């Protein structure tokens, strides 16, 4: 059966889908599998979908959407799984803005109930010209390879946080902007999280020569077992001399929190990924989070933070706590972006 898609989610980008796709009734219920669904709801909140170009579009009831099967465990969003078996007509949910589809098991009042999605079929790929029998589409197609060991790299700048929505992407972008304005050639990557192009597009908007995400490596949602080899692969790709990027440094955002389930701890505890690190920027929501992050990073991972930013530095109360109690620089990314970049530039030197 052929269908005309109203929307192609960004999470499917590696599969390079045409607007008209062929569906199969046999669905591969595994992460990365590209399926077609019909939206059953029209929501007033959390009602958009990012397309393959990075454009946000409102999801309308009845929209035919190509999305990708995946899991999600977000504190401020939805938690969802991939059912063991999926059939045409099953009702699943849109779990994030990047078109990740699964069965929602827990919601959040801030985003309301998830949009229900009726399964229409498995999207088929036809990688060879003239081929009549398709294969199940998966975002592992055209993916960047993972890596078992990172032998070398230009200096790395890690931006992590105590939780999602702690200002990591904004801080990373201000650092990229400031370093670029200082004459450095900066690359970027988002190493952990759930598929969404928005953050890396913002990084390129502020000056990153190239910005990659784990979805480029065929991963829908990073997990402890996949995060490290994928991170190595992305960093190696940015360092590849064949690309001619000639980077001076790479800014790396670690999505979710340092105690989340997306593999942040595993990355921060891997020696070959930490060897080239020259700065560790921590985004904290409040003073307790700043204190806990500094203690956790030092005692559990042996990492000294370079600077603390995020909402805890929004005014002098939090900044004073960080500087006096923790003995660390406290710089607000929203009001002191250039100063934040300056702290990182000093660390690079």
Residue 247, in any domain of the structure? yes
Residue 145, in any domain of the structure? no
251 and 336 fall within a common domain: yes
In this structure, the chain runs to a length of 349
124 and 233 fall within a common domain: no
End position of a domain, from candidates 136, 170, 200: 136
Residue 144, in any domain of the structure? no
Residue 150, in any domain of the structure? no
208 and 168 fall within a common domain: yes
162 and 125 fall within a common domain: no
What is the full per-residue pLDDT of the chain (349 aa) written as tens digits? 999 999 999 999 999 999 999 999 999 999 999 999 999 999 999 999 999 999 999 999 999 999 999 999 888 889 999 999 999 999 999 999 999 999 999 988 989 999 999 999 999 999 776 677 899 999 999 999 999 999 999 999 999 999 988 999 999 999 999 999 999 999 999 999 999 999 999 999 999 999 999 999 999 999 999 999 999 999 999 999 998 999 999 999 999 999 988 999 999 999 999 999 999 999 999 999 999 999 999 999 999 999 999 999 999 999 999 999 999 999 999 999 999 999 999 999 8
- Domains held by the chain: number: 2
At residue 164, the pLDDT reads 86
**Structural domain boundaries enclosing 267:** 156-348
Task: Specify the CATH number for the domain of residue 229.
Answer: 3.40.50.300
Residue 146, in any domain of the structure? no
Residue 322, in any domain of the structure? yes
210 and 89 fall within a common domain: no
At residue 74, the pLDDT reads 82
119 and 169 fall within a common domain: no
Q: How many CB atoms lie within 10 A of CB 48?
A: 14
At residue 75, the pLDDT reads 80
173 and 211 fall within a common domain: yes
């Amino acid at each position: 059966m052929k269908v005309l898609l109203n929307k192609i989610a960004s999470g499917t980008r590696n599969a390079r889908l045409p607007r008209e796709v062929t569906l199969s009734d046999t669905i591969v219920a595994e992460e990365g599998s590209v399926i077609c669904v019909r939206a059953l709801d029209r929501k007033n909140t959390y009602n958009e979908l990012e397309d393959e170009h990075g454009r946000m579009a409102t999801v309308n009831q009845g929209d035919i959407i190509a999305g990708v099967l995946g899991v999600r465990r977000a504190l401020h969003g939805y938690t969802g799984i991939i059912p063991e078996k999926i059939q045409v007509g099953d009702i699943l949910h849109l779990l994030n803005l990047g078109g990740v589809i699964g069965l929602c098991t827990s919601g959040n009042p801030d985003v309301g109930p998830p949009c229900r999605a009726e399964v229409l079929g498995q999207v088929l790929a036809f990688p060879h010209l003239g081929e009549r029998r398709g294969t199940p589409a998966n975002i592992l197609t055209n993916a960047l390879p993972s890596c078992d060991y990172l032998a070398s790299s230009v200096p790395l700048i890690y931006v992590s946080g105590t939780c999602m929505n702690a200002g990591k992407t904004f801080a990373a972008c201000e650092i990229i902007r400031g370093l670029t304005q200082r004459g450095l050639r900066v690359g970027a990557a988002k190493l952990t999280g759930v598929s969404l192009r928005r953050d890396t597009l913002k990084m390129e908007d502020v000056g990153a020569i190239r910005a990659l995400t784990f979805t480029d490596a065929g991963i829908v949602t990073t997990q402890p077992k996949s995060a490290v080899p994928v991170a190595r692969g992305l960093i190696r790709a940015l360092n590849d001399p064949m690309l001619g990027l000639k980077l001076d440094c790479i800014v790396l955002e670690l999505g979710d929190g340092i105690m989340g389930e997306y593999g942040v701890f595993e990355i921060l505890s891997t020696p070959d990924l930490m060897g080239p690190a020259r700065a560790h920027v921590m985004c904290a929501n409040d003073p307790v989070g700043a204190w806990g992050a500094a203690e956790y990073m030092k005692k559990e991972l042996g990492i000294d933070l370079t600077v603390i930013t995020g909402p805890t530095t929004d005014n002098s109360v939090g900044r004073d706590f960080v500087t006096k109690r923790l003995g660390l620089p406290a710089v607000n990314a929203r009001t002191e972006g250039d100063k934040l970049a300056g702290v990182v530039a000093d660390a690079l030197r």
